A = this chain, B = another copy of it.
Amino acid sequence: MQKQNFLTKNQQIVLDLVEKSSQPLKAYSILFNVQKKGLKAPLQVYRALDKLVEIGKIHKIESRNAFVACKNSNCVVSNATAFSICESCEKVTEINNSKLSKYLSNFEDNSGMKYSKYNLEFFGLCKKCKNK
């Protein structure tokens, strides 16, 4: 059996929901929203999320325990992610800046460690909240 290159029913249901949302969704909020589609247990959601993260269709916002769809149409693997997070309204935006990603992907220090992946989260106030 070769590695699955399509989405299963549960994965598709979860992905559809996350893609429809403009903001990160929490696992149990996803669960609540897909119960009418037959996903009744947390594990069904977590398993779908795990796979979707693995193949890069969604990202986990670690500091928020929440999930967003990847906005880069070319996103195949999620080995380089950067987000901005508004600490007031919690709006999260994926940062798509080639200079930044190039800089971080090529980053090396004297630890002898080879970095294959990174996740960066910026915090601050978004335009709207700044002007309040």
Q: Give me the interface of A with B, judged by CB distance under 8 Å.
A: 62-63, 84, 86, 93, 95, 97, 100, 103-104, 107, 109, 111-127, 130
Contacts and interface: CB of A to CB of B under 8 A. Distances in A.
Copies in the complex: 2
Contacts of A126: 111-113
A120 B119 contact: yes
Contact of A122 (B84, B93, B107, B121): B107
22 contacts: A62-B62, A84-B111, A84-B113, A86-B113, A93-B111, A95-B111, A100-B107, A104-B120, A111-B127, A112-B127, A113-B124, A114-B125, A114-B130, A115-B122, A115-B124, A116-B123, A116-B125, A117-B123, A118-B122, A118-B123, A119-B121, A120-B121
